[in-house]
Structure 1
Amino acid sequence: MELFYYLVFGGLSAVVFVLEFSKSNKDRVNTSSAFNAFKNNYLVVYSLMMAGDWLQGPYVYYLYTTYGYGKGDIGQLFIAGFGSSMLFGTIVGSLADKQGRKRACVTYCITYVLSCLTKHSPQYKVLLLGRVLGGISTSLLFSAFESWLVAEHFKRGFDQQWLSLTFSKAIFLGNGLIAILSGLFGNLLVDFFNLGPVSPFDAAACILAIGMAIILSSWSENYGDPSENKDLPAQFKAAALAIAADEKIALLGAIQSLFEGSMYTFVFLWTPALSPNDEDIPHGFIFATFMLASMLGSSFASRLMARNTPRVESYMQIVFVVSSASLLLPLVSTLFVAPSEATVGGGISFIGCVQLLGFCTFESCVGIFWPSIMKMRSQYIPEEARSTIMNFFRIPLNIFVCIVLYNVDAFPITIMFGMCSIFLFVASILQRRLCVISEKPKSQDWTPLTERDADDEQQSDA
């Protein structure tokens, strides 16, 4: 392994260490013992849920190839997963507001365990079923757990500022440290113990079962809409009206879709970008480096959110601009840096080194994005339809990713990165608009448009 990888990994490790152990009193928030117990319980569960997800990620594509499937068939399987998340996942996730967020979290565990079990079969239809179940699970993972946390946090009377502590620590652990450990553990199962590419999925199923047991034994239930007679179409209508009625919610949804769509596109493209001529690069080590960069971002975000200034709405404008510039590097380096002599199986090129640094910068922005968007969602999305609205946001995201997957061979990689850079710049513009309108005094509470119209009609009749 080249010295360059060690230098990047070591440099990021040093910065994360300094950030975590040099926090002053301004960077810390005094909390109660009851909140600390609540936070730690959630962090344990969330870490187990993310471990179950991260264990599978590096081996899904590889497992399909061992079953003899080509790039086209595998692409269709991935599209099925994102399509399922858009269609079935949105419906199942929205039921959390009505049927209970705890039940939705348990449903996540069950569906993902079943998805893991399907990996034992080489049959295409069984694997397709697994992708559908995985798509449903993904929607629940990114909506039900956050919805339960926010509702439970306020139900127990904790300070709103403390919610940021849980968000930043959850991302630091679940999307950083746990991701690194899961990658190393999966590598240990497959390469060291020679248990085969399906072993990480079995380990994930066991971890998810443990997390489900903790949820069943220690979590209380909470709901969104208290109405007993509101069916699913009515929930969707109420959520759509809420988005249309409040520009802040609509902006938040657009920003989330633009950023996450670019992020998932990056996941598919970073490998060919760093090894365009089949250079020999350490994929696992680079993945761990990316996760370390994400930890750096979440650690930095925790410092920002522990203070009253700058506001989340303000500093996220800069984050989106920086992320846009970082994903523009592949296009810029191709235009202005002469390509070096490529050797198949050789080491990473100079352009690859520059792009790797840019990609680490983008991952740091990802680490800042997650807790920050969580905090903004807790402020702007109404509790009555939190899970439903959050899953609404994932519809354009999944459509975007499916289109990218379907056309991944139709455009050069540099064009795809340029497109993502444009989307992120647009997100910065929308974030600027959100910052401006969020500073204005709130004129009215969130109320479904239909109710407002009815009130207006009554007043006019009078």
Structure 2
Amino acid sequence: MEIFYFLVFGGLAAVVAVLEFSKSNKDRVNTPTAFNSFKNNYLVVYSLMMAGDWLQGPYVYYLYSQYGYGKGDIGQLFIAGFGSSMLFGTIVGSLADKQGRKRACVTYCITYILSCITKHSPHYKVLMLGRVLGGIATSLLFSAFESWLVAEHFKRGFDQQWLSVTFSKAIFLGNGLVAILSGLFGNVLVDTLALGPVAPFDAAACFLAIGMAVIMSSWPENYGDASEGKDLLSQFKAAAVAIASDEKIALLGAIQSLFEGSMYTFVFLWTPALSPSGEDIPHGFIFATFMLASMLGSSVASRLLARSSPKAESYMQIVFLISAAALMLPVITSFLVVPTGVKGGGISFSGCIQLMGFCAFEACVGIFWPSIMKMRSQYIPEEARSTIMNFFRIPLNIFVCVVLYNVDAFPIIVMFGMCSIFLFVASLLQRRLMFIAELQKSKSQDWTAMRELGTEEEPLNA
């Protein structure tokens, strides 16, 4: 393997280590034992859930190809997954507010385990069913667990700032360390032990079952809107009204859709971007490098969120601009770097530049997740939290389905340019969100000051 990959990986590992071991008291939030116990329980469950998800990712396409399906058939399977997340997942995820978030988390485990089981069949209809189940599970993963955490956090009387501690640790572990270990473990199962491409899915089912046992034995139930007789349609209407009546919520949803849409597009495009002429690149090692970059980002986010300034609304503008610049690199290098035209071989100079930019983008992803979670906990009303969060995923899933369907219709630099523009727009929307939040906070402080002044004047007038 080329020394370049080891240098990038080693450099990122060194920076992450320095960031973690050099944290001062300003970078840490002192929390009581009761909260630490609650946080650690959630982190164990979240890590197990993410292990069940990350183990599958690198082998889905490979498994389908081993069953003899071509690019077109596999593309339809992927579209089915995102389409299911948009249609059925939104409904099932929204039921969490009414039927209970713990119950929704258990449903996620059961649904994803069933999806893993379908991977044993080579029949297309069975695999399609598995993608539908996987789409439903994905919606639950990105709404039910966060909704349960936020509700339970406040129900136990914990400080709001402590949420950022849980969020940053969850991303550092679940989207960083666990992702790297899952990739290595899956590689051992498939290549070292030669258990076949279905083995990672069986291992994922085991982790999900363990996590489900922990949830059932240690998590209490909590709900959103517990009013009697409120059907699903009423929940959707209430969520739509909340989004339409509060510009902050609408902006947050647009920002999330633009960033995640660009992120999922990047997942499909980074391989052809780094090997346009069929260069031999170590996909697994590069994936681990990306996850290490994400860990670096979450480590930076933990420092930022531990302090009162700068606010997430402020620094996320810069994060989106860096993301836009990083995904613009393939467009820039296509004009400035002359392609060799040689088939095969190692990664090109242009590929090296892009890989550095992609690592910067993944670091921004690591900052994005805990920061958007913190902002969602502040702006999204508790009674419809899961419903609104799943509303946010509707435009995201539509966007990804359109990209998947037309992935061969546009040159790769056009796709990256489009993502870069979306991220720039996200930065502008983030600036608008910060302006509105500060304006409302200022008005609230002025109103409070006027009330206090009026209270002081009443005894004098008397």
- TM-score, normalised to structure 2, is 0.95
Aligned to 2:432: 433
1:387 paired to 2:386: yes
Partner deviation per Cα, 1:398-441 (whole Å, 9 max, x = no partner): 00000000000000001000000000000000000001001023
Q: Counterpart of 2:20 in structure 1: which amino acid?
A: E
1:189-204 mapped onto 2 (5 Å cutoff):
189-204=189-204
Please show how residues 65-214 of structure 1 align to structure 2 within 5 Å.
65-214=65-214
Other-structure match for 2:240: 240
Q: By how many angstroms is 1:122 displaced?
A: 0.2
The aligned counterpart of 1:400 is 399
Alignment partners' CA distance in 2, 1:335 and 1:278 = 20
The amino acid that maps onto 2:349 is: F
Amino acid at match of 1:410: A
After superposition, give the CA deviation of every residue in 1:228-272 in whole Å (9 maximum; x if it has no partner): 110000000000000001000000000000000000000000000
- Mapped partners of 1:356, 1:95: distance in 2: 41
CA RMSD of aligned residues (A): 0.7
Shift of 1:39: 0.2
SS at structure 1 position matched to 2:440: coil
Structure 2 CA distance, aligned partners of 1:89 and 1:130?
Answer: 13
| Separation (CA, whole Å) in 2 of partners of 1:400 and 1:89 | 16
The 1-side partners of 2:277 and 2:333 are apart by 16
1:223 aligned residue: 223
How many angstroms does 1:338 deviate by? 1.7
Instruction: Measure how far apart 1:170 and its partner are.
Output: 0.1
Q: Which residue of 2 aligns with 1:410?
A: 409
Do structure 1's residue 62 and structure 2's residue 62 form an aligned pair? yes
Q: Does 1:359 align with 2:355?
A: no
Name structure 1 gaps, 5 residues minimum: 445-462
Separation in 1, partners of 2:29, 2:3: 40
Letter in 2 for 1:346: G
Q: For 1:193-229, what per-residue CA distance to the aligned partner results, in whole angstroms no more than 9, with x for missing partners? A: 0000000000000110000000000000000002011
In the TM superposition, residue 335 of structure 1 has moved relative to its aligned partner by 1.0
Amino acid at match of 2:421: I
Q: Tell me the residue number matched to 1:41.
A: 41
For the 8 Å contact 1:171–1:295, the answer to whether it is kept is: yes
Distance 1:25 1:326 in 2: 32
Q: Which amino acid aligns with 2:367?
A: I
Are 1:310 and 2:310 matched, yes or no?
yes
Offset, 1:342: 3.8
Question: Quick one: distance in 1 between partners of 2:341 and 2:292?
Answer: 29
- Deviations along 1:3-44, one digit per CA (max 9) or x if unpaired, are 000000000000000000000110011100000000000000
Q: Distance in 2 between matches of 1:299 and 1:228?
A: 43
Match of 1:458 in 2: none
Instruction: Look up the match of 1:424.
Output: 423
State the distance in 1 between where 2:10 and 2:106 align. Answer: 39
Distance in 1, matches of 2:341 and 2:187, equals 29
Instruction: Give 3-state SS (helix, strand or coil) of 1:439's partner.
Output: helix
1:71-118 deviation digits (Å, cap 9, x = unpaired): 000000000000000000000000000000000000000000000000
Q: Unaligned stretches of 5+ in structure 2? A: 445-462
Aligned 8 A contact 1:297 1:364 in 2: yes
Match of 2:456 in 1: none
Please list every run of at least 4 consecutive aligned residues from structure 1 whose deviation after the TM superposition is greater than 6 angstroms: none
What secondary structure does 1:140 align onto?
helix
CA distance in 1, matches of 2:388, 2:29: 30
Supply the AA of the counterpart residue of 1:229.
Answer: G
C-alpha deviation, 1:387, in angstroms: 0.0
1:297 deviates by: 0.1
SS in 1 for 2:41: helix
2:276 and 2:8 map into 1 onto residues whose CA distance is 21
Give the 3-state SS of the residue equivalent to 1:440 in structure 2. Answer: helix
Whichever residue aligns with residue 90 of structure 2, its letter is: T
Deviations 1:264-295 (A, max 9, x none): 00000000000001100000000000000000
Deviation at 1:397, TM superposition (A): 0.1
CA deviation map 1:141-199 (0-9, x unaligned) = 00000000000000000010000000000000000000000000000000000000000
TM-score by length of 1: 0.95
Pairwise CA distance, 1:345: 2.5
Letter of the structure 2 residue corresponding to residue 296 of structure 1: L
Q: Distance in 2 between matches of 1:133 and 1:11?
A: 39
Q: Aligned-pair distance for 1:343? A: 3.1
Q: How high is the sequence identity, in percent, across the aligned residues?
A: 84
Spell out, residue by residue over 1:349-399, the C-alpha distance to the aligned partner (whole angstroms, 9 max, x if none).
Answer: 000000000000000000000000000000000001000000000000000
| SS state at 1:81 partner | helix
Give me the whole-angstrom Cα distance separating, in 1, the residues matched to 2:153 and 2:439.
26
* Partner amino acid, structure 1, of 2:329: L
Aligned mates of 1:420, 1:219 — CA distance in 2: 39
**Partner AA of 1:193 in structure 2:** L
Q: How many pairs does the alignment contain?
A: 443
C-alpha separation between the residues in 2 aligned to 1:180 and 1:59?
14
1:115–1:129 CA contact under 8 A, matched in 2: yes
Residue type of the alignment partner of 1:224: G
The answer to whether structure 1 residue 17 and structure 2 residue 10 are counterparts is no
Q: Measure the CA separation in 2 of the matches of 1:412 and 1:151.
A: 45
Amino acid at match of 1:390: M
Q: Which whole-Å deviations, capped at 9, do the CAs of 1:306-336 have from their partners, x for residues lacking one? A: 0000010000000000000000000001011
Checking the alignment, whether the CA contact within 8 Å between 1:342 and 1:349 is kept in structure 2 is no
CA–CA distance in structure 1, aligned partners of residues 237 and 425 of structure 2:
28
CA apart distance, 1:344: 2.5
Counterpart CA distance in 2 for 1:41 and 1:440 is 38
